[in-house]
Structure 1
Amino acid sequence: MARRRHGAGTPATVALDAAGVTYTLRAYEHDPGAASFGLEAAESLGVDPARVLKTLLAETDRGLVVGIVPVDGMLDLKALAAAVGVKRAVMAEPAVAERVTGYVVGGISPIGQRRRLVTVLDSSADQFATVLVSGGRRGLDLELSPADLVTVTGASSAPIARS
């Protein structure tokens, strides 16, 4: 993957450029009627859905927490709670997720959010050389190594996804 500088990009690309992280932009034509933003990205880009990750926010006793899981799976809220050392987690309301991250649902990137939140990456990502996450808007994904994703988000890794 070649490092690409993109001038006035999304907050996610700006953050990656500032951190010196190598990534590839993967754009596709977004269908507003798509039932699943993540599965749409995987199909449009011809990528295994296990490599395309979605960013979800949950409310916990520690505040909001980010869970990053494959688009063909679900976030296991009990596992996420255990990974961050709290008793329970519930999905954040979409409006809360948008306000806190600065992104719209379907385009929430784990990178370049308005403020850094506790973040957990599903450990299944480690089996791939690269994974894809939202680039900060619908129709734009970023391909990067799981290690770089962990570094730039300050994430920990744990098994937080279920089928």
Structure 2
Amino acid sequence: MKRTLLSALLIALAAAGTAGAATTTDSTKADKAVARHLEKLGYTYEVDEDGDYQMVFDVEGDRTQIVYVRSSVEDFGTHNIREIWSPGYTSQTKQFPVAVANRLLEDSQDAKMGGWVKQESTAMFVVKIDADATSDQLSDAIDAAIRTADAMELELTKKDDL
């Protein structure tokens, strides 16, 4: 089950990399600055076909959570933004149930960093940070993403598929 969901998530991330705002890096290559930060932090990672950094962390209660640090950097005015994504819910249909969609909106309001987005049939918690963030700031963003996404997955599904 985890392999099927992981494949679907990788496809969703690939689609996300080609849509929306212009990127300042080639989305097919890994940003070596991210690798330097992750290595400094001692994190084990894999680079996917889009050049994004994929990691799996152990979280409370013998659970695991997947997280992606995107290599592409988005520009908005003078801001250069890197995204950290972690899935928290996958719907059986293209539309989320109303109660789930409302719960995700409520959680976005309460989140200190980041918010929920819909990517195909998956709810992703996305933290946006300065592309030149320090290793510690990146670590905090990763931590916020995995904790928030895993808590939501547990609340909504009582499973550990993501």
Asked whether the two chains share a fold, i.e. TM above 0.5, the reply is no
TM-score relative to the length of structure 2: 0.28
* Structure with the higher fraction of residues in helix conformation: 2
Larger RCO: Structure 1 or Structure 2 (Cα < 8 Å, ≥ 6 residues apart)?
1
